[in-house]
């Protein structure tokens, strides 16, 4: 097997492993649209990274985090309905990102790669970054799992029980920002949310506990990455979209079966 | 004398230029059931939520005894269908590392709440009454000094309501905790209560149930039918309330300044 294929596969697997539990939280907390908005802003991060000549992943994570904080402040102030606000910011940041990227020399920028991912371009160096970020997110997630679950069930109850709800929310957004910065490599800014949401949604059908759903989502995501990569390798399809299509196929297959578990 | 767990003095919550509640004084004691009653929109939930520090207050002070553990039962629980969560797991999330019920007490409370058969069920598959009982059980898990129940019988049928109020009374006897309860139902609550507070933005009257039911301000607040079932006391009205507690005609009763 070619080296680059192995790197792509390993990188994809690691990212799928971490998007499983994080994506589950996004499904439980109805953050799909929120994630989309952050992901679109990632393009602005790319432009910023290129402009300031800093690590692009770092710039993306930073821009996503800033936007996340801005978003939660605006939502809290209830200026306008949340989905309208997200709709405005999502496409504004995408457009701003596209405009700023257009200012750079066209030859040096792989716009399609940023938008739809360039899994096969993952190198050994990238792999270390992915491994580092994913383990960091994993460790934090494990540590705050219980309080995070508690605020997901009911924020007021959690607060009365002594959990710092605002801090937990911020931490979750921080984790999402980091994962977006990393997952951009695989599926690109336009498709990131699908990698977070689809495997988790598919896993719901088979799960009876939050942990089960998180682990299953990881496994399904890994399956989707492997399948998408195979599709891309044998039929020369674009890798990112192939991963998403396989994930969706898994979702529809699982949901077409009659309910077996008592609560799915 | 039982100890005072939590006191609020001159508590006020203002949103925009409207006071949701104003000048509320309240003292919650160990082993005592305090019920806040009042019409819709009287600020009952606002009062509870400000005492729990879930919302910002605009004036006044709240002081609690050191290390006060509060068990809270929210008005309703909305759970996403996408979250697979059994009742047992939901209860476990409320467990406190240090302060736990003894196994005996736990089994007793599970039994009292008739939760044995519910534990393995998904939360989303509970009926209204079952959900309320599980919420109550979760509030009890931390062995609270103070139990705060926001409309505990909501969505429960009448026989279930009586049972739930009895259960709350039993819980008080078992744990010896203080209880603050919100209700807009007059009849069922009164029997199980030590202290009643009638709220309509401000405290209209408060005290022992019998005492309060004789208070003109109470009759004013709930109208002749509402109050009449509780007290035989005949009161001459100079103004009337709609079922929502708004005054529809007449002058203000002295001592009870609405709005």
B99, part of any domain: yes
Q: What is the CATH number of the domain that holds A239?
A: 1.10.3470.10
Residues 6+ apart with CB under 8 A from A105: none
Residue B31 lies in a domain: no
Q: Cα(A238)–Cα(A202) distance, rounded to whole angstroms?
A: 23
CB atoms within 10 A of CB B158: 10
Specify the number of domains making up chain A: 1
- Return d(Cα A88, Cα A36) in angstroms, integer: 12
Two tokens, residue B13: 């919550």
Q: What is the CATH number of the domain that holds B133?
A: 3.40.50.300
Q: Which residues form the domain of A120?
A: 3-256
Within-domain flag for A264: no
Q: Ramachandran region of residue B34, left (φ > 0), alpha (ψ -120 to 50) or beta?
A: beta
Residues of chain B that touch chain A, judged by Cβ-Cβ distance less than 8 Å: 49, 52, 54, 70, 72, 74, 77, 79-80, 82-86, 89-90, 93-94, 96, 121-122, 124-125, 138, 142, 148
Segments of chain A scoring below 70 in pLDDT? 1, 106-107, 259-264
**Pairing state between β B178-183 and B146-150:** parallel
Please report whether residue B26 resides in a domain: no
The verdict on residue B207 lying in a domain is no
- pLDDT for res A121: 82
Going residue by residue through chain B, which has 259 residues, state the pLDDT in tens, using 9 for 90 and above: 578 899 988 899 988 888 898 888 999 998 889 999 888 888 888 999 999 999 888 998 898 888 889 999 988 888 889 999 999 999 999 887 777 788 888 888 888 888 889 999 999 999 888 898 899 999 988 889 999 998 888 777 777 788 888 888 888 888 889 999 988 777 777 777 888 888 888 888 888 877 777 777 777 777 665 555 554 333 344 444 444 444 444 443 434 444 4
Residue B165 lies in a domain: yes
Interchain proximity A153–B86, CB inside 8 Å = no
* Cross-chain Cβ contact B83/A159 below 8 Å: no
CA distance B134 to B151: 14
**Measured between alpha carbons, how far is A27 from A197 in angstroms, rounded to an integer?**
6
Distances from the Cα of B17 to the Cαs of B13, B14, B107, in angstroms? 10, 7, 49
pLDDT of res. B180: 93
Which pTM was predicted?
0.85
Residue in A146, A159, A207 closest to B93 by CB: A146
List of chain B residues whose C-beta atoms are within 8 Å of the C-beta of residue A28: 80, 82-83
Within 10 angstroms of residue B206's Cβ, the number of other Cβ atoms is 20
The total number of structural domains in chain B stands at 1
Q: Cβ contact (<8 Å) for B86 and A209? A: yes
Residue A165: closest C-alpha in chain B: B54
Pairing of strands B4-15, B18-29: antiparallel
A59 in a domain, yes or no? Answer: yes
- Are the beta carbons of B78 and B126 closer than 8 angstroms? no
Q: Is residue A83 part of a domain?
A: yes
The tokens for B204 are 């209209």
Range of the domain at B129: 69-197
Give the pLDDT score at B227. Answer: 55
Instruction: Classify residue B209: in a domain, yes or no.
Output: no
User: A181 CA to chain B: closest CA distance, Å?
Assistant: 26
Distance between CA atoms of residues A173 and A190, nearest Å: 18
- Alpha helical stretches, state H, A105-261: 111-116, 124-143, 145-153, 155-160, 165-187, 192-204, 210-235, 239-256
Structure tokens at A199: 């495997």
Residues of chain B found within 8 Å of residue A209, distances taken between Cβ atoms: 84-86, 89
List CB contacts of B245: < 8 A, sequence separation 6 or more.
B38, B39, B40, B41, B42, B200, B221, B222
Q: Which residue has the tokens 């009759």?
A: B219
Phi, psi of A231, rounded to the nearest 5 degrees:
-60, -45
């Amino acid at each position: 097997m070619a080296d680059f294929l192995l790197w792509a596969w390993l990188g994809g697997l690691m990212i799928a492993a971490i998007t499983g539990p994080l994506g589950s939280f996004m499904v439980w907390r109805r953050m799909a649209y929120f994630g989309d908005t952050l992901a679109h802003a990632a393009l602005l991060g790319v432009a910023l990274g290129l402009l300031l000549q800093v690590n692009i992943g770092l710039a993306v994570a930073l821009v996503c985090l800033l936007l996340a904080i801005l978003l939660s402040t605006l939502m809290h102030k209830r200026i306008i309905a949340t989905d309208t606000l997200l709709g405005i910011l999502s496409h504004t940041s995408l457009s701003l990102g596209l405009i700023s990227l257009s200012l750079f020399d066209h030859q040096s920028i792989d716009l399609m790669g940023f938008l739809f991912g360039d899994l096969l371009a993952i190198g050994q160096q990238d792999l270390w970054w992915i491994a580092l970020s994913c383990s960091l997110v994993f460790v934090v997630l494990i540590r705050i799992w219980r309080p995070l679950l508690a605020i997901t069930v009911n924020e007021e109850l959690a607060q009365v029980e002594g959990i710092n709800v605002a801090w937990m929310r911020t931490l979750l957004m921080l984790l999402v920002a980091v994962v977006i910065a990393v997952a951009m490599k695989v599926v690109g800014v336009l498709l990131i949310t699908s990698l977070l949401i689809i495997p988790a949604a598919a896993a719901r059908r088979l799960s009876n506990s939050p942990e089960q759903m998180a682990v299953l989502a990881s496994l399904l995501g890994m399956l989707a990455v492997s399948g998408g990569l195979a599709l891309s390798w044998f039929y020369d399809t674009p890798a990112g979209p192939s991963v998403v299509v396989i994930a969706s196929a898994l979702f529809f297959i699982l949901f077409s079966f009659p309910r077996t578990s008592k609560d799915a | 004398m039982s100890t005072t767990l939590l006191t609020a003095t001159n508590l006020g919550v203002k949103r925009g230029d409207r006071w949701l509640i104003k000048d509320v004084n309240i003292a919650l004691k160990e082993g005592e059931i305090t019920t806040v009653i009042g019409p819709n929109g009287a600020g009952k939930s606002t009062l509870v939520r400000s005492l729990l520090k879930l919302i910002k207050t605009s004036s006044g002070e709240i002081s609690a005894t050191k290390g006060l553990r509060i068990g809270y039962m929210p008005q309703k629980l909305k759970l996403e269908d996408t979250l697979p969560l059994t009742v047992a797991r939901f209860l476990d999330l409320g467990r406190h590392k240090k302060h736990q019920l003894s196994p005996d007490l736990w089994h007793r409370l599970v039994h009292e709440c008739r939760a044995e058969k519910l534990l393995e069920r998904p939360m989303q598959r509970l009926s209204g009454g079952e959900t309320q009982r599980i919420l109550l059980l979760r509030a009890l898990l931390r062995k609270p000094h103070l139990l705060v129940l926001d409309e505990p019988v909501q969505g429960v049928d009448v026989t279930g309501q009586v049972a739930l109020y009895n259960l709350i009374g039993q819980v008080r006897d078992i744990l010896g905790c203080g209880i603050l309860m919100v209700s807009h139902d007059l009849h069922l609550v009164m029997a199980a209560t030590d202290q009643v507070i009638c709220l309509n933005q401000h405290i209209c009257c408060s005290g022992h149930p019998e005492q309060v039911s004789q208070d003109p301000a109470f009759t004013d607040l709930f109208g002749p039918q509402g109050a009449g079932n509780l007290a035989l006391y005949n009161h001459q009205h100079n103004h009337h309330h709609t079922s929502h507690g708004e005054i529809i005609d007449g002058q203000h009763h002295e001592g009870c300044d609405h709005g």
